[in-house]
């Protein structure tokens, strides 16, 4: 196992007690099979000699007991193995989510949704499969292979040597060749699956917009093509596994034939040397290898599971390393009035080439600012940088004189809230969708916020009011209702600085202009006077009472203009 896989397995927090219990149950399962093969060989040869029935009674009862215990131990082994794996994947996902929440927000924000979904979903599942399909089966196979060789060695060292070589071919060489051949195919399969997830999520979340734009068929065709690529890559990865699976039956046949020839040679046509080989010993030589290979039969699949886990662990750790270590417990907590300042701020995505020109901002508590500019100019990037979700390319962002990078992430989110245009609506009730921003929100406050954004009549018509579940999330509402719900979520949040990205998108022009005027007018009462509002828009009403307007342009050398209209907003520094 490489270093990345070892690091990733630590995320599972595997408890030695549970892992050892699973290994013990697996050994007991295959041990029952091994003992059953040996006892069956003795019973067959003993019965051939036609002894008194009472001489066979104990053996017959033991055969039944071993047959039953094998199924019982297999069931216990499955329970113990899956318990350890499921606890491990839960622990891994918890650690990943906490690291993403407490670390650098750009780590998750810089990924495509499909890629992020693959890393926190399928990749973690692949890591959990290491427990079920690799670690425990390998440990059980090693113990049982050694036991089988020892048992045969007591009867015939030559037969034990043949069995050891056959087990090595089945349990070491075949899985190694399978993993080596599958490595490239599996990496392609992971990439193709991530691309398919991204395309499928785009088609599901934006079907209406794509249909209007006439691009839905193209996106669906792209999703179908990427799905075919993922299936073909998976098929290519399965071929080496098929060759590895064929190696085990061949090894079994070679071992059985070898043991049989050795036994016949020692026994001889006329009974051979007296005491050298009895019919009972010959039967054991032939039947025990059949049970011994049951353990190594799972090893080619274990090799493929390790290959998938190595690839998945590299992707998971790349995400965690990008997020960095969470801030220490001693990180600061905002305690000032909520004044946000940006000095020489240039914004852009990590590794990207498009960077905004520098801007200086001084947002006093209660300021109302509109951010305008062309599509792709960097308006959303500016808001995410002010919220601490992206690191500044250059310059600083501070809250009450303290750089925002020094604050505890949870505390900073309660102070500065970024509300994205494409924020997620969950498949739960209207009330719980608002509680995403404020967990202690009561029903009356939620109703008031919904009425404020124009959803009062809509909620009143719902079967259970705010407790009505939005089946399918965003697909259960129209584009305009979705925007109003997201705006209501922002209004009920505890953040004192609201960074709103296109809050009126998908609304008709009159309603959108009315809401924008209300958001930018501190006397309107839609937002408390002491709360700061920074609003991104493409269609700013001409009569909006904003304290200032920031015009954003992307690219080095282009200007970012800030029109000073009140004492709460400073002019931009020239690019």
Indicate whether 310 and 347 sit together in one domain.
Answer: no
Indicate whether 83 and 230 sit together in one domain.
Answer: yes
pLDDT value for 497 = 93
pLDDT tens for 35-54 read: 888 888 888 888 777 888 77
Indicate whether 295 and 354 sit together in one domain.
Answer: no
Which helix (H) or strand (E) segment holds residue 185: the answer is helix 174-205
Residue 35 lies inside a defined structural domain of this protein: yes
Residue 548 lies inside a defined structural domain of this protein: yes
Indicate whether 201 and 90 sit together in one domain.
Answer: yes
Of 267-271, 296-300, 400-404, 516-520, minimum mean pLDDT range: 267-271
* DSSP SS3 for 400: coil
Interhelix angle 174-205/113-120, nearest 10 degrees = 140
* DSSP SS3 for 404: helix
Which helix (H) or strand (E) segment holds residue 551: the answer is strand 548-551
Residue that is last in its domain, among 264, 295, 323:
323
Report residue 564's pLDDT band, with 50, 70 and 90 as the boundaries. Answer: very low
Residue 245 lies inside a defined structural domain of this protein: yes
pLDDT tens for 148-191 read: 888 888 888 888 888 888 888 888 878 887 777 666 666 666 67
Residue 358 lies inside a defined structural domain of this protein: yes
Residue 418's domain is classified under what CATH number? 3.40.50.300
Q: Which two three-digit tokens encode residue 472?
A: 């399918």
pLDDT surpasses 90 at 546: no
Residue 373 lies inside a defined structural domain of this protein: yes
What domain range includes position 524? 340-425+476-564
Residue that is last in its domain, among 323, 348, 382:
323
- Closest C-alpha to 490, from 537, 443, 524, 441: 441
Indicate whether 350 and 297 sit together in one domain.
Answer: no
Contact status, residue 357 vs residue 553, Cβ threshold 8 Å: yes
Indicate whether 274 and 374 sit together in one domain.
Answer: no
DSSP annotation string for 294-358: HHHTTHHHHHHHHHHHHHHHHHHHHHHHHH-PPPPTT-B---S---EEEEEEE---TT-S--BPP
Q: How far is it, in rounded angstroms, from Cα 286 to Cα 273? A: 20
Q: How far is it, in rounded angstroms, from Cα 524 to Cα 557? A: 38
pLDDT surpasses 90 at 73: yes
Residue 68's domain is classified under what CATH number? 1.20.1560.10
Indicate whether 239 and 361 sit together in one domain.
Answer: no
Residue 481 lies inside a defined structural domain of this protein: yes
Residue that is last in its domain, among 323, 352, 368:
323
Indicate whether 312 and 349 sit together in one domain.
Answer: no
Instruction: Return mean pLDDT, the chain.
Output: 82
Report residue 271's pLDDT band, with 50, 70 and 90 as the boundaries. Answer: very low
pLDDT value for 474 = 61
Indicate whether 54 and 101 sit together in one domain.
Answer: yes
pLDDT surpasses 80 at 234: no
Other residues' Cβ atoms within 10 Å of the Cβ of residue 269: 6
CB contact set of 180 (below 8 Å; sequence gap of 6+): none
pTM: 0.62
Indicate whether 21 and 65 sit together in one domain.
Answer: yes
Q: What is the mean pLDDT of residues 420-446?
A: 89
Domain count, the chain: 2
Residue 439 lies inside a defined structural domain of this protein: no
Indicate whether 213 and 261 sit together in one domain.
Answer: yes
pLDDT value for 163 = 87
pLDDT tens for 487-533 read: 999 999 999 999 999 998 878 888 888 999 999 998 888 899 899 99
Indicate whether 213 and 302 sit together in one domain.
Answer: yes
Residue 457 lies inside a defined structural domain of this protein: no
């Amino acid at each position: 196992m490489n270093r990345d896989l070892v690091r990733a397995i630590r995320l599972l927090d595997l408890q030695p007690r549970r892992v050892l219990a699973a290994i013990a149950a697996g050994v007991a399962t295959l041990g029952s099979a091994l003992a059953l093969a040996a006892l069956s060989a003795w019973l067959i040869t003993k019965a051939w000699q036609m002894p008194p029935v009472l001489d066979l009674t104990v053996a017959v009862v033991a055969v039944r007991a071993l047959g039953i215990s094998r199924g019982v131990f297999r069931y216990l082994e499955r329970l113990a193995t899956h318990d350890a794996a499921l606890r491990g994947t839960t622990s891994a996902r918890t650690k990943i989510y906490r690291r993403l929440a407490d670390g650098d927000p750009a780590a998750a924000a810089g990924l495509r949704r499909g890629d992020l979904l693959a890393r926190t979903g399928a990749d973690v599942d692949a890591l959990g499969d290491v427990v079920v399909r690799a670690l425990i089966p390998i440990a059980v196979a090693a113990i049982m292979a050694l036991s089988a060789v020892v048992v045969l060695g007591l009867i015939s060292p030559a037969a034990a040597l043949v069995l050891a070589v056959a087990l090595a071919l089945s349990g070491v060489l075949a899985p190694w060749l399978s993993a080596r051949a599958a490595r490239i195919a599996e990496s392609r399969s992971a990439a193709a699956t991530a691309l398919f997830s991204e395309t499928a999520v785009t088609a599901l979340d934006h079907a209406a917009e794509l249909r209007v734009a006439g691009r839905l068929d193209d996106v669906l065709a792209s999703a179908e093509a990427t799905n075919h690529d993922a299936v073909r890559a998976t098929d290519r990865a399965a071929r080496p596994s098929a060759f590895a699976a064929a190696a085990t039956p061949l090894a079994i046949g070679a071992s059985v034939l070898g043991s049989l020839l050795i036994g016949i040679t020692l026994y001889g046509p006329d009974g051979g040397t007296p005491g050298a080989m009895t019919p009972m010993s010959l039967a054991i030589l032939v039947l025990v290898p059949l049970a011994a290979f049951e353990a190594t039969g799972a090893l080619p699949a274990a090799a493929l599971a390790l290959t998938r886990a190595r690839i998945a662990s590299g992707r998971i750790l790349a995400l965690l390393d990008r997020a960095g270590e969470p801030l220490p417990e001693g990180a600061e907590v905002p305690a000032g009035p909520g004044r946000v300042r940006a000095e020489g701020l240039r914004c852009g995505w990590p590794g990207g080439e498009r960077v905004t020109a520098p801007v200086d901002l001084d947002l006093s508590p209660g300021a109302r600012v509109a951010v305008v500019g062309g599509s792709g100019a960097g308006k959303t990037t500016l808001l995410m940088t002010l919220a601490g979700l992206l690191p500044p390319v250059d310059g600083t962002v501070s809250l009450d004189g303290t750089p925002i990078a020094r604050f505890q992430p949870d505390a900073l989110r309660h102070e500065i809230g970024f509300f994205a245009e494409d924020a997620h609506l969950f498949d739960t009730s209207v009330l719980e969708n608002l509680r995403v921003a404020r967990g202690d929100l009561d029903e009356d406050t939620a109703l008031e916020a919904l009425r404020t954004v124009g959803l009062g009549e809509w909620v009143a018509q719902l079967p259970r009011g705010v407790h009505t579940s939005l089946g399918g999330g965003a697909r259960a509402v129209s584009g305009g209702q979705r925007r109003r719900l997201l705006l209501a979520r922002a209004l009920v949040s505890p953040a004192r600085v609201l960074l709103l990205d296109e809050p009126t998108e998908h609304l008709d022009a009159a309603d959108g202009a009315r809401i924008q005027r209300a958001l930018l007018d501190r006397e309107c009462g839609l937002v408390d006077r002491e709360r700061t509002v920074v609003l991104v828009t493409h269609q700013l009403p001409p009569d909006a009472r904003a304290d200032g307007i920031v015009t954003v342009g992307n690219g080095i050398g282009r200007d970012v203009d800030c029109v000073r209209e009140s004492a709460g907003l400073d002019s931009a520094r020239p690019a």
